[in-house]
Amino acid sequence: MPLAKFMYRPVAPAIGRDCIDWQDCTKYFQDDLTPWRINFMRKLLFLALFALFCAPLSFAQNTERRGPEFFVGYSNLQSEGVTVRDSDDPFDNDSFLEDRTGLNGINTSITGYITPRFGLTGEFSFYQKGDDSRSANIEDEINFRRFNFMGGPVAKFRNESRAEPFVHALFGAANSRVEFEERTTVGSTTTSENFTTSSTDFTMALGGGLDVRVNDRFAIRAFQVDYNPVFFRDRSLQILGQTGTIRTNLEGQRADNVRFSFGVVFR
Non-local CB neighbours of 267 within 8 Å, separated by 6+ positions: 65, 67, 68, 69, 70, 216, 217, 218, 219
Q: Of 121, 114, 118, give the one whose Cα is nearest residue 58.
A: 118
Secondary structure class of 133 (helix, strand, coil): strand
Residue-range domain boundaries for the chain: 3-266
Which CATH topology does 3-266 take? Answer: Porin (2.40.160)
Cα–Cα distance, 148 to 107 (Å, whole number): 9
User: What pLDDT is recorded for position 142?
Assistant: 86
In this predicted structure, which of 96-100, 114-118, 123-127, 173-177 has the lowest mean pLDDT?
Answer: 96-100
pTM for this one? 0.67
Cα–Cα distance, 43 to 146 (Å, whole number): 27
What is the Cα gyration radius of the chain? 21
User: What pLDDT is recorded for position 242?
Assistant: 56
Secondary structure class of 172 (helix, strand, coil): strand
Amino acid identity of residue 251, one-letter, is E
The mean pLDDT of 157-171, rounded to a whole number, is: 94
Non-local CB neighbours of 139 within 8 Å, separated by 6+ positions: 132, 133, 182, 183, 184, 185
Q: Of 263, 261, 226, 267, give the one whose Cα is nearest residue 116.
A: 267
Q: What is the pLDDT of residues 65-115, one digit of tens each?
A: 678 999 999 999 998 864 333 344 444 444 445 567 889 999 999 999 999
- Polymer length of the chain: 267
